[in-house]
Each structure stands twice: as C-alpha cells, then as structure tokens.
C-alpha cells in the first residue's frame, strides 16, 4: 500500500454512555453523550459534542453532526441526515466551525426516514414526515412534511 494512504477506522471513541444502551455495530461514535436506555442502529455516525437524551432511538444509516442536541423519547428513523453548514458564504465552510450552526431537537420528536434537518430548533411533540427537509424552526407541535417541511396538522 502506498505511503500516501491513510486508513481511518470507524468505531466508538470517547463516548459517555448512560445505562442500558444498545449499540449495533458497525457505527462511528466519538466524543458524544448518549443517554440511558437509548438504541443506536448500525451504520450510524454521531460526531463530537452531540448529546442524545434518554430513551431515544436512532435507526440505521443516520448521520448526526457536531452542534446537534436531541432530546429524550425521540425517534430518528432510518437515513436521517443532520446538517450544520448552510453554505452561508456560498460554499462549504469546511473546517471553519465559526460558520457552523446548532440544531436543537426537543423531547418526543419523531423524524421520519430520509428526512434532512438543517440547523433549526424543533419543539417537543412534533412529527417530521419521511423525506421532508426541515429548513426553519418549528415552534408549534404537530405533523410537518414536505420540502420545505410545512405544518400539515396541529396537535391538541
């Protein structure tokens, strides 16, 4: 193998786990916090600084980038992607974390398969439909769907 090849292995490094957590490998989890009674499916990446609340399930093939916080009793379905770079300068921020933004997911939020979540805040008791793209803060409980995600039905 040429000297110019740098193979980096996925794995679990520097993670703070609560009690009774189930992780199905292969995964790439590093320098994050996973609450008690959580489930992390295979082919999931959770990056540095992410915090996951108790009893939250993250299904396979999902990506949770830096600057994301997910509350308790949430479900992140298969293939959900979180984004922390809005390309505000017209191109990727790359390693310039000053241009990255935060995402806050409150408790009891269900995000459907293949949804994409940009840097936003989502209130408790919200459902995001499969394939939706969340581009704006959601501050009213209900069901949201589409690209961009829009309120379909209020709860309560």
CB 117 within 8 A of CB 137: no
Per-residue confidence band for 1, with pLDDT thresholds at 50, 70 and 90 = low
By CB atoms closer than 10 A (0-12, 13-18, 19+), residue 112 is: buried
Q: Tokens 């191109």, residue? A: 91
Rounded CA-CA distance 120/90 in Å is 19
Opening angle at CA 73, ends 69 and 68, nearest 5: 10
User: Which stretch of 3-12, 69-78, 102-111, 139-148 has the lowest confidence by average pLDDT?
Assistant: 3-12
Map out the domains of the chain as residue ranges. Answer: 12-154
Count other C-beta atoms under 10 Å from residue 26's C-beta.
12
CATH 3.40.50.1370 fits 12-154, yes or no: no
CB 144 within 8 A of CB 125: no
Provide φ and ψ at 81, rounded to 5°. -120, 130
For residue 12, which of 40, 37, 36 has the smallest C-alpha distance?
40
CB 135 within 8 A of CB 115: no
What pLDDT does 88 receive? Answer: 75
- What digits encode the pLDDT tens for the residues 21-74? 999 999 999 999 999 999 999 999 999 999 999 999 999 999 999 999 999 999
Q: Tokens 């993670």, residue? A: 15
CA 71 to chain CA mean position, Å: 11
């Amino acid at each position: 193998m040429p000297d110019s090849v740098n193979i980096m292995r996925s794995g679990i490094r520097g993670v703070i786990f609560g009690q009774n957590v189930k992780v199905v490998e292969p995964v790439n989890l590093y320098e994050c916090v996973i609450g008690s009674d959580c489930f992390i499916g295979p082919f999931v990446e959770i990056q540095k600084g992410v915090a996951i609340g108790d009893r939250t399930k993250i299904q396979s093939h999902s990506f949770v980038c830096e600057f994301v916080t997910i509350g308790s009793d949430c479900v992140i379905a298969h293939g959900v992607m979180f984004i922390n770079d809005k390309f505000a300068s017209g191109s990727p921020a790359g390693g310039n974390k000053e241009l990255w933004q935060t995402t806050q997911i409150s408790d009891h939020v269900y995000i459907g398969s293949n949804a994409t979540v940009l840097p936003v805040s989502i209130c408790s008791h919200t459902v995001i439909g499969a394939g939706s793209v969340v581009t704006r803060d959601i501050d009213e409980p209900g069901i949201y769907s589409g690209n961009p995600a829009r309120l379909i039905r209020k709860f309560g």
